[in-house]
Amino acid sequence: MLLLIKKRMILAAVLASVMALVLSACGGKQVSPPANNTPAANTPAPEQTVPAAQTPETLTGTGVYNGQSDPHTVEIEMDGKATAFQLGEGVDAEIAQLNEGDAVSFEYTEEPIAGDTTKQLILTKITKTGDADSHGDNDSAQGGQGNARPGTATFEVNLEGTTEERTAELAQGEGYSLYVFDMMSLFPDQNRVALAVDDNYYAEIAKLPSDFKLDTLEKEAREELKATGEVEKAEGSDIPADLEGAKLFLSATGNGVIQKYIVLENEGQGFAVKINAPQGDALEGFMGHIYKTLNTLQ
């Protein structure tokens, strides 16, 4: 009996010691409840601001319609300066109603070009306000601005001492038009009329400003032509008959090629033409046709 009492006393002492250790271990620590990271149900999400697309400003202008240089580009002379416009949606139908030389009023926008400081002009509306060249009455293929010229015309071309009739089609460049024979093609983006079978035979055309100086052009042309050969200036009867009204006619020959620099003027509008022609079998035919073509330039 005495032994049983001792065992119970020992067991009670052990249990008391264990409880004391447990309480001691927990006594210095406070357990915090887990943080609640779930956002409140009624807290609205922050709004994202989307910048509004800017509508290009619509500008207006008046001028003279010079024609269409390619399916997407037209030229309008405004404030005495020829300016290129890209066609906006639906404007091609309005362009089809115009003739070169028509007085027009129009609307357009300016759009930036990536990587360039210039801006692209987009034509959005155009309206005819006056007839083509209302101050003139010459409608012929050879004449000045006139009303709309016919789509084709027949010309007499001198070839190897004989005169032949050849038909040419009206072609539109950047601010000018001229008749081109079927042996050649006009490339408006290059302002170049070239022989179909060999594009090393070509004439490059550039419109001149209204205040061009002939002596300055001659000086610059001579400097450029002397790289080919000795520069010669044709005057009077030495100028080909088709271009007898030329203001300047320079030539240089060398390295198997003939190069010419010609200044033409039609009703106050000047053009500078550079001709390049290898001394090959096609030379005579090319020259006979290109002089006639340049004679129709306006």
Could you report the per-residue pLDDT of 129-183, keeping only the tens digit for each?
A: 765 544 333 333 444 444 467 888 999 888 777 888 999 999 888 888 899 999 9
DSSP string, 150-164: PSEEEEEEEETTEEE
Q: Is residue 122 located within the same domain as residue 168? A: no
Q: Is residue 79 located within the same domain as residue 191? A: no
CA angle, 154 as apex, 147 and 242 as ends, to 5°?
A: 85
Please report whether residue 34 resides in a domain: no
Range of 265's domain? 152-295
Q: Is residue 97 located within the same domain as residue 170? A: no
Q: Can you tell me the distance from the alpha carbon of 275 to that of 264, in angstroms, rounded to the nearest whole number?
A: 13
Please report whether residue 4 resides in a domain: no
Q: Is residue 179 located within the same domain as residue 71? A: no
- Please give the model's pTM, rounded to 2 decimal places: 0.54
Our count of domains for the chain comes to 2
Please report whether residue 179 resides in a domain: yes
CATH number of 98's domain: 2.40.50.140
Residues 6+ apart with CB under 8 A from 274: 203, 204, 259, 260, 261, 262
Q: Is residue 87 located within the same domain as residue 204? A: no
Burial of 35 (0-12, 13-18, 19+ CB in 10 A): exposed
The pLDDT tens digits of the residues spanning 201-247 come to 999 999 999 899 999 999 999 999 999 999 999 999 999 999 999 99
Q: Is residue 161 located within the same domain as residue 195? A: yes
Q: Is residue 239 located within the same domain as residue 179? A: yes
